[in-house]
Each structure stands twice: as C-alpha cells, then as structure tokens.
Structure 1
Amino acid sequence: MKYIQSLLVIFALFIGSIATAQTDKVVEDFKPSSVNQQGKEFPQVNSEGRVRVRIEAPQAKKVQLDIGAVKYDLTKDENGVWTGESAPQDEGFHYYQLNIDGASVPDPGTRYFYGAGRWGSGIEIPAHDRDFYALKKVPHGLVSENLYYSDITESWRRCFVYTPPGYHGDLSKRYPVLYLQHGSFEDETGWSNQGHANLILDNLIADNKAVPMIIVMDNGYAFKPQEEETTGRPAMVFEEMMMQEIIPMIDARFRTLANRENRAIAGLSMGANQTMRIAMNNLDHFAYYGGFSGTANYPSSDEIDVETFLDGAFADGEKVDEQLKVLWLGLGTKEPEPFPESIGTFINMLKKQGIQYEYYESPETAHEWLTWRRSLYQYAQLLFK
C-alpha cells in the first residue's frame, strides 16, 4: 500500500510539473512591434503581450531586457546574437531599454521616444480598445512645431500645436483651445508621439463626438536662470510662462476663440499638478480642467484644508462650481499609491465643498500612456459644448 501511495505522489508531482511547464510555455505567434523602425523585424510582441528582443553583441558577456522595472536575461547563440523575451505586459505603450554588460542603451530596432528623462525605446502591446487612437481613413489635422523665444526663461523653446481638420480651409473660422501637458521626465513631444492626441481628436471629430479644437502641447519644464544664480536652484516658472507668453502667442499666431468659455487645460501626473494650479489661479481664463492621474500636491492627510490648499482656491465651493463648466478626473485601476489615495482625498474635498466633477477609471491600466489616452478620449468629448 505504501508503495502504491508513493507512486501516486510521484505521478501527481509529474503531472503538476507538466502543467507548470505548459503554463510557462511561450506562445510562438510573435509579430514585429507597430513602433519598430522601418524594416526592422525586432522587437516583437505575441498574443500574450510578451516582448521578444534580439541584438547582435558578440563581445558582450551579459545582455538583459529591462522593461516594467524587471530585467530579463537574454541568451547568446553561436553567432553572437542575443535573444529573449519578457513576461506578459499590460496593454498599451511601455518604455524599455537593453542592458549590455551593465550599460543601459536603446534598442536599435525601435523608434525612439522621450520619456524617463531620456530618448529611448518604446513598445506597443496592442490594446483591445486601440481603435479610438488608430490611424484611420478620416480627415486629419496638422501637428506643427512652433519655435518661440521666452523672455522669462531667457531661452528658445518650442511647443507643438494640433489644428483640426478644416482649419486651413475656412480662414474665417475660429476655434477653442485645449492646453495639454505631459508628465514627469517627458516633454512637449509626448502627447503627439506616445499619446496620439492628434489621432484621438481626428477620430472623435470624424464621429461628431468632439468639437473641432486647437491643442497646444508645451514643455512643462521652465526655469528662470537668474533664480539659480541667487538661490542655488532654478525656479519653476511654467505657470508664469503660460499666462504671460504662451497663451498670448497662441492667440496671436492662430485663429482662436480667445475667452475663458473657449479655453480648457489638462495634464497628466506632474502636468495635472501644474495645470490645476494654472487653472485655479486663473479662472478668468479657463472654464475646463482635466486631471489625468493627478491633481495638485498637498500634504498627505485624511482631509484637505480648503482654507490653505492652493491659497484657498476651493474655499468658495459655490463660486468654483459656477466657474468651472467641467472638472474632470481620471485614474487607472492599477495605479500605485499615492495616486489613488491622493485623488480620493481630493474628491472628498470636492464633495464637501459641493463642487460637481466627472470621474473616470481606466480599466486594467496603471500610471501609463493607455490610461492617459483613454482619459483624453473621455475628457475631450465634454469640452466646449
């Protein structure tokens, strides 16, 4: 009997090991990523969301794929080519890099994107709802690069401006404006490159779901040089720049409807913080606010002191509710702390002050571009109506 029981245990363990092996087996249906450089076969993505990379480095001793804060070892073949893949990744866009003998470098197979404070590689894990930011056969707007000199920062800067389909047709028509900001360690290229803001609006406008609008995407990192000379650190002056330089420039260069009822602002993460300060300090200029994965920095607590938060900008709830036509907040369901806690605290303050708001949760996304693409898609449909 003991012999039979031992055989049964061994058999169960054997079956279990087979099941585990089958579970870990990689599905071999990899296809080149949609953001590869032209003609490049790798990196690739399979139906599980795994990322497979390949690089020739015959002299290297160790090569890894670094994605999602996890490093995966690659295997070297007899020709000095290293290959390997990641675990399944969430849907959407992700930054990644290769680590070759301790040096982190971009993958030469992908187009490059500015994020994490550097130009580096990116990968698209096809999302089930990607149709809303897909390149379709619809009328398309134009994203233009606009150079300007800032007297405040004493430097040349640029912003990217989306003008909707038809803008260059009827030259008598004027348009409302959305000022749209990126997050930490990103720049003015983020919303058009990683965020596909132009395609999202093209598709919404084609479906008559959004009002044709101009979108301005500037760099949120703006510093006053003389402050560093006197204090040892640069002073962030983006709010000052927005009100004194960027908005007047846009109203002068483009056919805008230059009043608060036709001016909106939004941002993601750091940009949500910046744009909230700009909006709440200048409600005579903005009637719409959107915060994607953020609101504004405040001391961690169970309750916001409305008398001191943003210098009492929310203290008169009735007035704020009257001035803001839309106060919109968005968050991914997989976002890490402190984002859910801080936004929850902020929402409790809005409720207490009797301020109406819109709240959206992006399913199964974290602090990442698919959350923010979905947020823009939802927010843009509420503007200027």
Structure 2
Amino acid sequence: MENTARARAATMPVRSARQAPAAMPQGVPLVPPALLARADRILLVTHLAIGDFTYLQACLRAFARAHPHARIHLWVDERRRTADPEAWPHLRKYALYDWLAACPWIDKVYDSTYSPAALAQSIDEARAARYPVVASLAVVDCHRYAHLARRISPDGFVVGLKKPAERLLHVVSRWSGYRKLDAALAVYRPEDCAHQHISDIYAGWFARCFGVHVPPAARMAQLDAPERWAQAAQAQFAAWGFAPGQAVVFVNAYSKSPDRTWPLERVAALARGLRERAEWRDAGVVVNVVPEALDDARRMLTRRADPALAHVRLFSAEEHFFQLPAVMALCRQVISVETAVMHLANAVGVPVIALMRRNHPEWAPIDRERSTVLMVPEMDDWVTRIGVDDVLAALDGGHRPPR
C-alpha cells in the first residue's frame, strides 16, 4: 500500500524547482486545487512552539476536514539544535510532542531534529516519503526553510513564506532560497499586526495557500485535557493541601527569552500581596517553573523561610504536557508573562492577566472577555518594567498601566 501511494505521488505534475515562485491571481490557492485533490499526504514544515500550535491547530483541523484523503505530516524543526549530547535529553522531551501525539488529524510528526545527526536522518526519512506537496510555514529564516522544503521534496510542489532581505548583503542568499519555491506568500509585516491576531494571520495563510477557510469562531484557542490528567491534577491539589473550591492563582514568570521573564523575587512579592487582599487572602498560589529551574526555585523559597509564602506551591509539568493545562484548569486566575501559558489559559477558559512587551501585539490572548493585557510603556522595554503593584491593580480591576 505504501509503495503504491508513493508511486501515485511521483506521477503528479509539478512545477520545475528551477522556476521562480508563481504569481497567482487573488482568490486562487497557491497550491493547485487539482494537485491537492490527488495528494495522499502533505508535509508542513515549521519551527513550532506551544503558543504557535494553540492557534495553528484550528487551521490544521480545518484542512483535515476539507481534504480528508490527504494525511497531514508535520515537521517540527528544533532551532536549539546542537551537537552537545548533554542537551539532547531535554530537547527530546519537548512538551509539544505530547500534544501533537494526541491530535487524531495529524498522521505523523518529525520530532527528531535536535542534533545534526538526527536532522540528517529525519531528512532522509522525509525524502523517502516523496511528498507531492510541502508547505514551509516558518517565519524565521524563511529562505533556509525554503531550502529545507525543497531538499525534502526535490520533485514535489513546494510553497513557502518569504520576506525581503533585511540588508543588501543578504539579497543573494534570500533569492537563492526563495527560488526553490514553486509559489510564495509574504510573511506578515509589523503594520499588518495592528488589527490582526496571530490566529487571523494563520487563517489567512491556509486560505491563500490551500483554499481552506477557518471562520473567526473556529480560531479560538481550544484544549481539553484527557480525563487521566484531569484526575491527576485534582489529586495534586489535594496533595498540596488545597481544599475543594479554594481559590488558586497560577503564576508563570518564566520565558525562554530574558526580555520576557519576570524575576522570581517578584513572584514572591506578588504572593505576599495577595494575602493583603480580602478576595485572595486564603488563595493558594501555584508557581509554574521550567524543569531546569525547579531546584533553584526550591532553594530560594527555603532560604526565605517566609511564613507569608506558606501558601505557595511550585509546579513543573515534568511527566507530560497535559499536566500543565489540567492544573491550570482548576485555578481561578492565571498571571503569566508572554509565553505559551497565557494562551493555554484562554484554551482552558481561565481568566488571565498577561504581561507583554509591545513588539508583538498580534500575540495577545485571543479571548478578550477573559484576558487583561498589561503592556510595558515603551517598545524596547523588558517585561520587568511591569511591577508587582501593576499586576495587583489589574487583579483588583483597576487596570493601571505599568509605570
């Protein structure tokens, strides 16, 4: 059966890889509809974070409904790829892979791109699949991912994102990559983000590339933790000493980027500040900590030995991704810096106070009714410009802007 499918894919008419990307009339999908109608599989290549997938999943689900004959394969490129073996165990356990594995409309995930050797092996595996259609949806280093997509599919139809060279010396390398594409779509510009959410941008990609339309109501973040993990979260709350019905605040101060990270000392100050408010005096506080920082966080709390922090519990989803949304779903309020957690709060229906920089407004939480966004005053400010009092004022309903 597999060999037959590959033979069919190999006979599909495709555009020469040496031709320039096609200029298609507006309203006509960049990938020829006749080709999509015959394709038994499609590969989407991207560097994917949990926040990305929170909104991209709606588009993938819509594609699966529109083209049930085409299996969706996903290439998740690890941009932290390294030759250092000590880093590999952490990269292999990327939590997003757990979520992707639970999606029935994704048939295969290439999730071993964490080392040069693993990358080469994954490329060989993908090339053997002879994909008739490959789409590069990478917004960073678009030209390099155009090269990768064509390397994976030498004879298939390759569509991808592109953006102008930032400097004159980059023109040749960008042109070299984009000429590998059969059709191209421009990456969104900062001015495009003033009135668009990232979910709108993703929906626009799928409409333009594949003719798949995702209505606004279907773009909302969605996530249902399996019952196993919901029960585990309830057991964890009991082990922490939280009573049934007790208010719990979930705080996430960690990001991969230092400019979007809030100091743990401010989390401690926030926990003390909650004690001074009647509505939150008896609330528990769950502090989300990335696994590699968990020991340091424990040592900090131990050193402080502060009775005002007795209601604070440290948490890390070390076993499985669904531990995180399951615990969040039991909380009354989420407070998070600009990372996946603030999007997951919308997905599980818990109100969120989001601490954001100003450089990517399109990534604000999608659910406006349940979200309060605190943005730093200036474009280049780090999230540390948002103080504890600013967050407490937002929690009180004052929505005071950061100083």
- Would you tell me which structure has more strand in proportion to its own residues? 1
Q: Same fold (TM over 0.5)?
A: no
TM-score, normalised by the number of residues in structure 1: 0.30
Q: Looking at CA atoms only, which structure, 1 or 2, has the larger radius of gyration? A: 1
TM-score by length of 2: 0.29
